[in-house]
Structures are given as C-alpha cells and as structure tokens.
Amino acid sequence: MEIEQALFSDLPEISVLQKLAFYDVGVYYRNFKLRPFLTSLEDFEKSFLEYLYLKATVGDRIVGSARAKMNNDKCKVENIIVHPAHQRKGIGKLLVTEIMNLLPEAQVFELFTGKKTTGNVAFYEGLGFSIVREVAETETEPVLVYMEKWR
Ligand SMILES: CC(C)(COP(=O)(O)OP(=O)(O)OC[C@H]1O[C@@H](n2cnc3c(N)ncnc32)[C@H](O)[C@@H]1OP(=O)(O)O)[C@@H](O)C(=O)NCCC(=O)NCCS
C-alpha cells in the first residue's frame, strides 16, 4: 500500500470510492441523500485545486483517499474514505497522519463527523481529536460533531 498525492485524473475513481465507502453509513442512517452520495464528479473537479488530495493505492487501485484545505493556521480535514474491503488495516490512520506531516504550518486540524457513527468518532479520538461541539441535523447531514486536534 502506498500513499501519495492524488491527481486530477484520479477524481472519477475517488468519486465512486466515496459512495462505496459511505454505503454502510447510508444504510445506518437509512438516508442515501447524505452529502457524500450527492457530491458529483463535477463538484470534486471544481474544487480540486483548493485541496491537498491524497490517495492510498494497492497496485493500480485506489483504496483510500483524504483531502485537506488550509485557512490561515487551520487545516480542514475532509472526505476520509477507505474501501470497505480495506478498512481496519490502518489506511485511514495513515492518510490522516500524512496530512499532518505534509502541512507542518497547521496549528489545528478540524473536521466534522456523524455523532451516531461512534466508530468514526472513536477513529478520530484515536488520532488525538476531541469533540468540541454538536451541529444540528440538516437534510443532507445527520447530527454531526465538530472535532479538533491541536499540535
Ligand atoms: C472511518 C474510516 C475512514 C476509518 O478508516 P480505516 O482505515 O478503516 O481505519 P484504521 O484501520 O486506520 O483505524 C485506526 C483505528 O481507529 C479505530 N477505528 C477505526 N474504525 C473504527 C470503527 N468502525 N469502530 C471503532 N474503532 C474504529 C480503531 O482503534 C483502529 O485501530 P484498530 O483497527 O487497530 O483497532 C473508514 O472506516 C471509512 O472509510 N468509513 C466510511 C467513510 C466514513 O465514514 N468516513 C469518515 C467520515 S467523517
């Protein structure tokens, strides 16, 4: 498994992987109108240059991805996804730690995740993130928690 910067040409595969990775989350919430399912390839392409994009590959297949955006000394971490067949092998953890390594100027890392998907919350807590506040449910997001990790 290798982690490297994703290319614009990787976005079609990453876009499909996102929907696959979130499938269980959709089943859990009985809601396939959540943001990860509604994001189109065009949405990914339009915002590509705003982000540091990573991919995790096994052979020539992308099995994981993550993206991060800097705003002053804050780093917004988004779209951490690992193919269901490759979860719990440390790939998600490597993607997040690689973002932290590649952005030494970031003093704080922030993200949102579903409050009820406790496995995700546990995953981020294991990486040193803490829950700061809750965010109310919307049509495309369940109740979220905002989490931060300071250097
Ligand atoms: C959340 C996600 C990115 C984690 O990636 P991963 O590669 O499976 O996670 P890792 O193997 O790196 O996990 C590292 C540690 O986090 C914790 N962890 C990860 N997933 C967990 C779960 N479902 N339940 C409890 N703890 C979990 C464990 O402590 C794990 O270590 P261990 O396997 O040795 O016990 C992945 O499950 C995923 O893609 N989920 C669907 C998409 C999603 O919900 N993304 C996050 C949106 S905010």
Domain tally, the chain: 1
**Per-10-residue mean pLDDT, the chain, length 151:** 98 98 96 96 98 97 98 97 98 98 98 96 98 95 97 92
CB-CB contact of 64 with 82 (8 Å): yes
Distance CA 19, CA 36 (A): 6
Residue 41 is predicted with a pLDDT of: 98
What is the 133 CA–ligand 1 centroid distance (Å)?
Answer: 21
Structure tokens at 31: 């809601």
Distance CA 55, CA 33 (A): 25
pLDDT digits (tens, 9 = 90+) for 95-109: 999 999 999 999 999
User: Residue with the nearest Cα to atom 22 of ligand 1?
Assistant: 119
Q: Which domain covers residue 45, as residue numbers? A: 2-150
What is the 54 CA–ligand 1 centroid distance (Å)?
Answer: 17
CATH number of the domain at 86, please.
Answer: 3.40.630.30
Taking the CA atoms of residue 7, residue 107, residue 121 and residue 6 in that order, the dihedral angle to the nearest 10 degrees is 0
Whether the model pTM is above 0.95:
yes
